[in-house]
Amino acid sequence: MSALKVFLVDDHQLFRAGVRHEISTAGGFDVVGEAGDVASAVAGICASDPDVVLVDVHMPDGGGPEVVRQVLARKPSVRFLALSVSDSAEDVISTIRAGARGYVTKTISTAELASAMAAIAAGDAVFSPRLAGFVLDAFASSPEPVHVHSDPELEQLTSREREVLRLIARGYAYKEIARELYISVKTVETHVSAVLRKLQLSNRYQLTRWAMERRLVPPGD
């Protein structure tokens, strides 16, 4: 199998060097380019046609979400994995809604990062336990029909999807979830992709408002 082409976007040069070193030791990846700001990232990604883009959330000029948005407008096939030190709900939600297919924090281990990148490149979604928790939280409050034109399917999670998310939040890997629920790994992936789609397309206003509140109000106040 040929090596996966990876593109790095992070405004910290030191961190890019670190990740580059890490994924080269993991094997199976080929870093085809890197960029430190939005404009050069968009140009570089469109030129090098990578299998997966590792994108930082916090950068000048709109950050990771802006890179994702601009690239997807030109090349919808590019797949993004957001990688950030911030795990605040607003960052997570805005990056995913911009079009990233997964979100992991920078403290992730090399092996986990490698498997997350492989999953993203294969078209799957990567949910960290924290992201799963955010999604459960965001969809937990009773859904209110917001727009007349909104698709009610998008505004709610099925009980199966909820179960899968709960297990992810509890620290289960897809394989373990499959065994737990007596379903195939492929089905787990289907559920997660469905949740991702709802997360990106749902226009329930609570999602954004919830994320904002979550950021502005420290838990419990």
Partner 1 sequence: MSSRPALRQWEPWSKLQRPAGGRALAGVAECLARKFEVSLWAVRTGFVFLAFCGGVGIAVYMAAWLVLPPEGESKAIWANAVADKRTIALTAGVATLLAAVTGILFGLGEPMVIGSVSPGWVSAAALVGVWRHPGTDDRLALVRVARLLDASKEGLPTRRRLVLSGVRVLVGLGLLGAGALTFLSPRHLTHADMTVGLAAIGVMGGMSLVLAPWWLRLGRDLSEERRQRLRAEERAEMASHLHDSVLQTLALIQRSAAEPLQVQKLARAQERQLRSWLFEQQADGAPALAAPTTVSQALVAIQQEVEADHGSKVEVVTVGDAPLDDRLRAVVAAAREAVVNSAKWSGADAVSLFAEVEPDLVSIFVRDRGCGFDLDAVAPDRKGVSQSIKARTRRHGGTATVRTSPGEGTEVSLKMPRRR
Q: What residues line the site for partner 1 (CB under 8 A)?
A: 85-86, 88, 107, 129-130, 132-133, 136-137, 140, 166, 169-172, 215, 218-220
Q: How far is the CB of 176 from partner 1 (least distance, A)?
A: 9
Q: How far is the CB of 30 from partner 1 (least distance, A)?
A: 29
- Closest to partner 1 by CB, 21 vs 75, is 21
Q: How far is the CB of 169 from partner 1 (least distance, A)?
A: 5
Q: How far is the CB of 171 from partner 1 (least distance, A)?
A: 3
Terminal CA-to-CA distance of the chain, rounded, Å? 52
- Closest to partner 1 by CB, 70 vs 202, is 202
- Closest to partner 1 by CB, 7 vs 210, is 210
Cα(103)–Cα(30) distance, rounded to whole angstroms? Answer: 21
Cα(71)–Cα(41) distance, rounded to whole angstroms? Answer: 9
In the beta sheet, which residues pair with residue 34?
A: 8
Joined together, the tokens standing for residue 19 give 């990740």
φ and ψ at residue 174, rounded to 5 degrees? -55, -40
Which residues fall within 8 angstroms of residue 154, CB to CB, at 6 or more apart? 197, 198, 201, 202, 203
Q: How far is the CB of 141 from partner 1 (least distance, A)?
A: 9
- Closest to partner 1 by CB, 145 vs 171, is 171
Q: Say if residues 188 and 160 touch (Cβ distance below 8 Å).
A: no
Which residues fall within 8 angstroms of residue 138, CB to CB, at 6 or more apart? 89, 93, 199, 206, 207, 210, 211
Cα 79–119–34 angle (5° rounding)?
45
- Closest to partner 1 by CB, 77 vs 107, is 107
- Closest to partner 1 by CB, 43 vs 136, is 136
Amino acid letter, residue 71: V
Q: How far is the CB of 130 from partner 1 (least distance, A)?
A: 5
